[in-house]
Structure formats: C-alpha cells, structure tokens
Amino acid sequence: MNTKQDVHICFLVLHYLDIELTAKTIESIRGLNNFGNSKIVVVDNASPNGSGELLEQKYKERKDVHIILSESNNGFSAGNNIGFLYIKHNFISDFVITVNNDVLFPQKDFIDKLDALYKLEPFWIAGPDIYEPHRDYHSSPMYEHSLSAQEAEKVIKNMERERQKLVKKFSLYGIKLYVRDCLRENYKIRLFIRLNRLVRGQKRKYRERSEGIVLQGACLIFDKRYCDKNSELFLPLTFMYGEEILLTLQCVKNNWEIRYFPELIVWHFSRGSSQCMKMSYREYCKKVILELDRRQEAYRIYTEQL
C-alpha cells in the first residue's frame, strides 16, 4: 500500500548552528502564495549548539515542517541527500527545491511563477536569480556554460594565487577582505560597494534566460523526473563548495535540461559581519583558505570526471 503523500513542492533546507537565520528562511517559504500543498524538510547537520533540537521543538506542532536531526555533520551534498531520501520515502512531489538557510523569498507568487515557467520551458534542474543585498550582487548563473578542462584548471590556478596571498602573515589583499566582510553591514561600506559595482558593472548575465549554464547552489529546483531518476540529489564527492559544477556536468552527460530563470528571484544573505567580527584576522584567513582548498578539490574532481 502506497502511504506517500502527494505534495506540490518539497523545500529542503540544510541547517547549521543559526536557528534565527533558519527560522527566517522557513517562515519566508511558509508565507508564499499557494504554499498549502507543499512541505518544508529541514536537515540539522549535527549542530553542536543544540539548535537542531530547538528547531524540532519550535515546529513540533507544524505539519508542514519536518525536522531531521543528523548524527554527524555531512556537509552540503551528503546533508541534502539525507533530506532527499526522507522526501522520497514520505512524499511524491512535483519539485524539490534545495534552499540555503540564509535565503529569503521576496516574491510571494514564486510558486505560481515557477509553475508557469515550467509549462513553457520544462527542465530537470533550474535556478532563480540569486541576489545578495549586502554586496548588491547577482551570483547566478556562475558560468555561462559547463567548463572545459582548461577553464577549470585556470580557476584552480586563480584560487591558488589567492590562497598564497592569504597564507602570508600579513597581506594587503587579506586585510581588504577581512575589513570588507567585518564591516559589510555598515551603511557607508555598503554604499561604497554599490557605487563600485555600478562603475565596474555586473559581469554575470543575470537578466537573460539561459540553459546549459552553471547555477549557483544557494537555491536549486529539481523536477519530478530528476527526483524519480536519482537516489541522490548531489554526487557526494565533496564536503562543501563546488557542487554546482559537478551537478552541471552530470546534466550535460545525461542530456538533462538545466535552465536559469531571471523571473524567479531569491535573496541570499550570508551569515554576515557578526560571524566575521568574532574572528581574529588570522582566524579569518584560515577560514577562507579552507574554503579555497575545498573549492580547488571540487574543481580537480570535476576535471577527473570530464
């Protein structure tokens, strides 16, 4: 007997540490028009501060929110895969949307727009315009096409050059990043960033619909075909960072349509200056170096998969 519940969309949110941030994302989703036949699945990635248990308590009376407590921190890919297996076991959904726990939905009609766009241009995976207010920046699509081996190697070399600057005990480049991230909520800093962005222009073609691109992973939309075909949302080859290029390569190899829709908009807020200001300069550099190491590893795996 099939006991799975038919739902329209399952929103999959990966939580770690910041309960206020995750709660804002949950409430933003619940506030969407026509959300009624949808669900939110939250995977707590073994937060050491007990915030996963607090989320479970907070939403225990809500039938539209399901909290999963992971016993270990599995990172991005494997953490989302835990939630995806729960969704496949309990629901039959038209879409699964993975959402970072620092993303908000400013468009109340997001679901209606998604349905209309899917009818016009069906896809296996799609992504919205991801706007970062603190940087006045549109971060998707990341690349206009899947990368060649030479292009991926170039990205690796650029990240290695950045890494070498941060390894130094003192670096003007590192200081600039540290000050920028610590003070980016400051009005004057944000105004300067906006003016600088206006002068330099936006490199990404975020205003145009496109396909075969590399989407930014803060919000990804998977259709029913993808979910039925796969036992995992993401290839669990990386802990964090770089999942998008591997996902695009998987789509290219299987001739699965991957599309970008500028008509869909989400706002992406990173944990912001409050997290940065708790770190010393060297601690900050070590954090950025770890991120660069993980990104480089993802791009190396990508070149091996080509």
Estimate to the nearest angstrom the gap between the alpha carbon of 272 and the chain centroid.
15
Distance CA 225, CA 230 (A): 9
- φ, ψ of residue 65 in degrees (nearest 5): -125, 125
Q: What is the pLDDT of residue 201?
A: 62
Answer with the residue of higher pLDDT: 191 or 224. Answer: 224
Distance CA 46, CA 24 (A): 20
Closest-CA residue to 103 (of 207, 29, 52): 29
Query: What's the pLDDT tens digit per position in 213-239?
Result: 999 999 999 999 999 999 999 988 888
Structural domains of the chain, ranges and CATH numbers in brackets: 5-145+203-270 (3.90.550.10)
Query: What's the pLDDT tens digit per position in 255-290?
Result: 999 999 999 999 998 755 456 667 899 999 999 999
Q: What is the pLDDT of residue 134?
A: 77
Query: What's the pLDDT tens digit per position in 125-181?
Result: 999 999 988 777 899 999 999 999 999 999 999 999 999 999 998 889 999 888 878
- For residues 19-25, average pLDDT: 95
Angle between helices 149-167 and 172-182 (to 10 degrees): 90
Q: What is the pLDDT of residue 181?
A: 81
Q: What is the pLDDT of residue 180?
A: 79
User: Is the model's pLDDT at 118 over the cut of 90?
Assistant: yes
Distance CA 246, CA 77 (A): 11
Quickly count: other Cβ atoms within 10 Å of residue 89's Cβ.
Answer: 9
Query: What's the pLDDT tens digit per position in 39-56?
Result: 999 999 999 999 999 999
Q: What is the pLDDT of residue 149?
A: 95
Query: What's the pLDDT tens digit per position in 27-42?
Result: 999 999 999 999 999 9
> Which residue reads 């225990």 in tokens?
60
Q: What is the pLDDT of residue 22?
A: 95
List of residues 6+ apart from 54 with CB closer than 8 A: 19
Q: What is the pLDDT of residue 148?
A: 95
Asked if 141 contacts 260 with a C-beta cutoff of 8 angstroms, the reply is yes
Q: What is the pLDDT of residue 273?
A: 47
**Percent above pLDDT 70 for the chain:** 90
> Which residue reads 């993975």 in tokens?
98
Across the chain, what does the average pLDDT equal?
91
Query: What's the pLDDT tens digit per position in 168-188?
Result: 988 899 998 888 788 776 666
> The whole model's pTM is what?
0.93
Band (pLDDT 50/70/90 cuts) for residue 200 is low
